[in-house]
Chains A and B, each alone.
Chain A
Amino acid sequence: MFEDFFKVVKHRFNNGDEEETFPTVKCPRCQSNIHAERYEELNKVCPNCNYHGRLTARERIALTFDKDSFEEFDSGMISCDPISFPEYPEKQEKLREATGLNDAIVTGVGLIKGQKAVAGIMDSRYMMASMGSVVGEKIARAFEYATENNLPVIMFTASGGARMQEGIVSLMQMAKTSGAVKLHSDNGGLYITVLTDPTTGGVTASFASLGDIIIAEPKILIGFAGRRVIESTMKQRLPEDFQLAEFMQEKGFVDMIVERKKMRKTLAKILSIHAPEEKEV
């Protein structure tokens, strides 16, 4: 799993005879310490190496959609415990309280510079945004809604992969989501994926890789197998940039890398080029 969250630490430095403390965060890519307030101002982008940090689903919605335009789908959906996995219900209960989320994805429909799009936004705080029954079902419903209403879909992906605690049922969500994407695509629908940190495992091997247009944020991790797994099987160190967005673009799997501050504008432009009627952005 990917535990490289920014960690808030109290940073101390000596200012004459007074000791001042302020919170800093450590960038998981370049290891530099960033003033926490500054980091928030930059919408969680590292000023030193341009790594694009993890946003909550709510933060992403606020940055992407026109004010108050986002209407959420299926907000009350909660996962059961299909393989009776020890402590899974308790773990979820705690996370629901801690995050205010019911599972690892928020889906809905909203406007980007006046253009309507269905969207799914994954939130890595909830079990590393792994895909179980709820994530699969919400994505399938979002695509089916978009197909029925001839709307484009934008998926902001972030995931550690399939949710182990739901066993084979989680694996089947890869088929469920990819099938719904395919029907939307066969109907002529536009699907944009925005890969965010980290997009891995069964999510990479399903809907995240199926976009007509695949965008990635800078310096984020994209892969199927985890780095640790590969290093242990290959018994060799991998290149520094292995599985980063820039590496995956060079290998031909990412259409474009877009900075967070330009994301909304870029999405609006792409939506407008695909809109049934010409519309000024």
Chain B
Amino acid sequence: MENNKTAWERLTLVHTKGRPTIRDYIPLIFTDFCEMHGDRLFGDDHAIIGGIARLDGKPVTIIAQVKGRDLNENKDCNFAMPLPEGYRKALRLAKQAEKFHRPVICFIDTPGAYAGMAAEERGQGEAIAKNIAEFMTLRTPVISIVLGEGGSGGALALGVCDELAMLENAQYSVVSPRGFASILWKDASREEEACNIMQVTADDMVRLGVAETIIEEPLGGAHNDLDKISENIKEYLSLKIEEKCQKDIDELLKARYTKFRKIGEFTE
């Protein structure tokens, strides 16, 4: 792994044109993918895709945030900023997975949940809150992977899981560095400085107890060898899904709650 990059250099790399997205990964990691649309309440959000597929021949449910590979794709998927109906679709599919006893694999790749009038009117806060609470007790294994950016509650809505992995250059943060600079210093242009002090890298996540595993990227970044990075992701998923499926579900849920319960630093 490359250990000499700053957080900002990694973020720049994640934003590089040609960085693989979930649409590149699905055919190389899974077979028989069937995409499912809609939340059955309002509509179909294109920033989150979901469906069923096989991993090593075994059924799984996939829920993923979608980055566009060009401007047209980005317009279609709203730059991977989901609306409430995206989160509600995700929950619907997770509940479906629970019913049919198949594990859930979430791919996180968003600068944050969409901030706009439509999102507020349809309860962005409620949608995210509900996902977080429901995933906490979802009676089937859940594995999440941060592919590029994991920004704010918009990422956490797919991030309540038994184990979290980060791609080597991926970042996970309370808000995007730009938002951070804007909120704290009222100056969005200080995003590089923000990024470097926020502690957002894969190493930071492991140290802070947020992530368990770092998935190695090919030299120079995931875009340099799509086959290799897909193989690394698949290897990780095969191992973890097998491991979690063998566990007693009540034990698994207890461990899932404890994973989040113990994060925080305080004195008494």
Residues of A at the B interface (CB closer than 8 Å) are 1, 74, 76-83, 85-86, 132-134, 136-137, 140, 162, 164-176, 178-183, 185-186, 201-202, 204-210, 222-226, 229-230, 233-234, 238, 242-243, 251-253
When chains A and B are docked, how far (Å) is the Cα of A82 from the Cα of B113?
25
Q: Which of A80, A176, A179, A252 contacts B265 (CB 8 A)?
A: A80
The answer to whether A230 and B115 touch across the interface, beta carbons within 8 angstroms, is: yes
- Name which of A164, A223, A252 has the most chain B CB atoms within 10 A of its CB: A164
In the complex, per-residue mask of B177-193: 1 if CB is within 8 Å of any chain A CB, else 0: 00110111000000000
In the complex, per-residue mask of B232-268: 1 if CB is within 8 Å of any chain A CB, else 0: 0000000000000000000000000100110111111
Known: A140-B261, A167-B198, A170-B174. A230 touches B120 (CB 8 A): yes
User: From residue A197, how far is it (CB to closest CB) to chain B in Å?
Assistant: 15
The answer to whether A77 and B156 touch across the interface, beta carbons within 8 angstroms, is: no
The answer to whether A173 and B264 touch across the interface, beta carbons within 8 angstroms, is: yes
User: From residue B202, how far is it (CB to closest CB) to chain A in Å?
Assistant: 12
Tell me which residues from 175 to 223 in chain B have a Cβ below 8 Å from any Cβ of chain A. 175, 179-180, 182-184, 197-200, 204-205, 208, 210
The answer to whether A77 and B199 touch across the interface, beta carbons within 8 angstroms, is: no
User: From residue B58, how far is it (CB to closest CB) to chain A in Å?
Assistant: 27
Given A83-B198, A169-B264, 5 more A-B residue pairs with CB atoms under 8 Å apart are: A83-B197, A172-B210, A175-B263, A210-B133, A230-B115
Q: Which residue of B lies closest to A227 (CB)?
A: B120
Residues of B within 8 A of A225 (CB): 113, 115-116, 119-120, 124
Residues of B within 8 A of A186 (CB): 137
Q: Which residue of B lies closest to A185 (CB)?
A: B133
The answer to whether A234 and B123 touch across the interface, beta carbons within 8 angstroms, is: no
The answer to whether A206 and B120 touch across the interface, beta carbons within 8 angstroms, is: no
The answer to whether A76 and B268 touch across the interface, beta carbons within 8 angstroms, is: yes
The answer to whether B128 and A205 touch across the interface, beta carbons within 8 angstroms, is: yes
User: From residue B170, how far is it (CB to closest CB) to chain A in Å?
Assistant: 13
Q: Which residue of B lies closest to A234 (CB)?
A: B116
Residues of B at the A interface (CB closer than 8 Å) are 113, 115-117, 119-126, 128-130, 132-134, 136-137, 152-153, 156-157, 159-160, 172-175, 179-180, 182-184, 197-200, 204-205, 208, 210, 257, 260-261, 263-268
The answer to whether A178 and B268 touch across the interface, beta carbons within 8 angstroms, is: no
Residues of A within 8 A of B153 (CB): 162, 171, 174, 201-202, 205-206, 224
Q: Which of A85, A136, A207 contacts B264 (CB 8 A)?
A: A136
Q: List 6 A-B contacts (CB under 8 A).
A: A79-B266, A82-B265, A168-B210, A173-B264, A174-B132, A223-B125
Q: Which residue of B lies closest to A206 (CB)?
A: B129
The answer to whether A179 and B133 touch across the interface, beta carbons within 8 angstroms, is: yes
Q: Which of A164, A165, A234 contacts B117 (CB 8 A)?
A: A234
Q: Which residue of A lies closest to B174 (CB)?
A: A171
User: From residue B245, how far is it (CB to closest CB) to chain A in Å?
Assistant: 22
Q: Which residue of A lies closest to B181 (CB)?
A: A164
The answer to whether B257 and A179 touch across the interface, beta carbons within 8 angstroms, is: yes
Residues of A within 8 A of B264 (CB): 82, 132-134, 136-137, 169, 172-173, 176
User: From residue A160, how far is it (CB to closest CB) to chain B in Å?
Assistant: 9
User: From residue B24, how far is it (CB to closest CB) to chain A in Å?
Assistant: 27
Residues of A within 8 A of B198 (CB): 83, 167-168
Known: A234-B116, A251-B121. A176 touches B261 (CB 8 A): yes
Q: Which residue of A lies closest to B134 (CB)?
A: A182
Residues of B within 8 A of A86 (CB): 197
When chains A and B are docked, how far (Å) is the Cα of A202 from the Cα of B124?
11
Residues of A within 8 A of B130 (CB): 209-210
The answer to whether A175 and B132 touch across the interface, beta carbons within 8 angstroms, is: yes
When chains A and B are docked, how far (Å) is the Cα of A134 from the Cα of B153?
19
Residues of B within 8 A of A209 (CB): 123, 125-126, 129-130
User: From residue B149, how far is it (CB to closest CB) to chain A in Å?
Assistant: 13
Q: Which of A85, A132, A230 contacts B116 (CB 8 A)?
A: A230
Known: A238-B117, A243-B120. A133 touches B266 (CB 8 A): yes
When chains A and B are docked, how far (Å) is the Cα of A201 from the Cα of B137?
23
The answer to whether B172 and A168 touch across the interface, beta carbons within 8 angstroms, is: yes
The answer to whether B184 and A164 touch across the interface, beta carbons within 8 angstroms, is: yes
The answer to whether B266 and A224 touch across the interface, beta carbons within 8 angstroms, is: no
Q: Which residue of A lies closest to B180 (CB)?
A: A164
Q: Which of A166, A206, A224, A243 contacts B132 (CB 8 A)?
A: A206
Residues of A within 8 A of B182 (CB): 229
Known: A80-B266, A168-B205. A205 touches B129 (CB 8 A): yes
Known: A77-B267, A86-B197. A252 touches B116 (CB 8 A): no
When chains A and B are docked, how far (Å) is the Cα of A1 from the Cα of B183?
7
- Name which of B115, B266, B267 has the most chain A CB atoms within 10 A of its CB: B266
Residues of B within 8 A of A183 (CB): 137, 257
User: From residue A119, how far is it (CB to closest CB) to chain B in Å?
Assistant: 19
User: Which 10 pairs of residues, A with B, have the shortest CB-CB distance?
Assistant: A225-B115, A204-B125, A133-B264, A80-B265, A209-B129, A205-B128, A224-B125, A205-B153, A224-B124, A175-B260
The answer to whether A171 and B133 touch across the interface, beta carbons within 8 angstroms, is: no
When chains A and B are docked, how far (Å) is the Cα of A182 from the Cα of B119?
24
